[in-house]
Every structure is written in C-alpha cells, then in structure tokens.
C-alpha cells in the first residue's frame, strides 16, 4: 500500500526557518502535491524544496514570493503563519 503524502510530516520546531518549512509542507499536503510537483510548479529542484521544508535552507525573498503565489496567499500571510506556529 502506498504511503499517504505527508503521513510522517508532523514536527515541532522552535526556529522560524523550521516553522516556515513546516507551513510549506502543510500547504503542499493540503493541495495533495508531492515535493516533486511543487518543485516543478516553482521551477526548483526537489532537493531544494526538501531542504526548505526541513528548515535547513532559508528561502530568498523571490522564493517566498513564488511559494506564496503557488498557494494563493501573500508573503506576509506565509510569514505570519510561520511566526504563530513556532514552538514556545
């Protein structure tokens, strides 16, 4: 049986980069997209998407704009969601 997209993606973080990555993962899963599909939509490499989601890479402003646009939200909404979900 195939593993459900994002089945093991629940994680807690105390950094903004990690929280931003978690928000990207959550939105991607809600859309039913794989990391490969998101990478293709954005014109990025799948490894880069994985690193963003893991919080090991920090996105540029251009990347944040592209990600927000792909999910139909503003950059400020993306950042606010990440800020709210940083573990205290």
Where along the chain do its domains lie? 16-85
All residues at 6 or more sequence positions from 55 whose CB lies less than 8 Å from its CB, including other chains: 13, 15, 17, 18, 19, 20, 21, 22
Running along the chain, 88 residues long, what does each successive block of 10 average in pLDDT?
51 81 96 97 97 94 97 97 81
Q: What does the pLDDT look like over 5-14, one tens digit per residue?
A: 554 555 566 7
> For residue 7, what pLDDT is reported?
47
> For residue 13, what pLDDT is reported?
67
Q: What is the pTM of this model?
A: 0.82
Any idea which fold 16-85 has? 434 Repressor (Amino-terminal Domain) (1.10.260)
> For residue 53, what pLDDT is reported?
96
For the four alpha carbons of 51, 67, 46 and 62, in that order, the dihedral sign comes to negative
> For residue 78, what pLDDT is reported?
96
> For residue 5, what pLDDT is reported?
57
Q: What angle (nearest 5°) sits at the alpha carbon of residue 62, between those of residues 61 and 64?
A: 65
> For residue 76, what pLDDT is reported?
97
């Amino acid at each position: 049986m195939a593993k459900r997209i994002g089945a093991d993606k629940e994680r807690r973080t105390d950094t903004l980069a990690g929280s931003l990555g978690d928000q990207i993962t959550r939105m991607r899963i809600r859309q039913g997209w794989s990391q490969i599909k998101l990478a293709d939509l954005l014109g990025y490499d799948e490894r880069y998407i994985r690193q963003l989601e893991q919080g090991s890479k920090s996105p540029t402003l251009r990347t944040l704009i592209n990600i927000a646009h792909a999910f139909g939200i503003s950059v400020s909404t993306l950042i606010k969601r990440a800020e709210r979900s940083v573990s205290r």
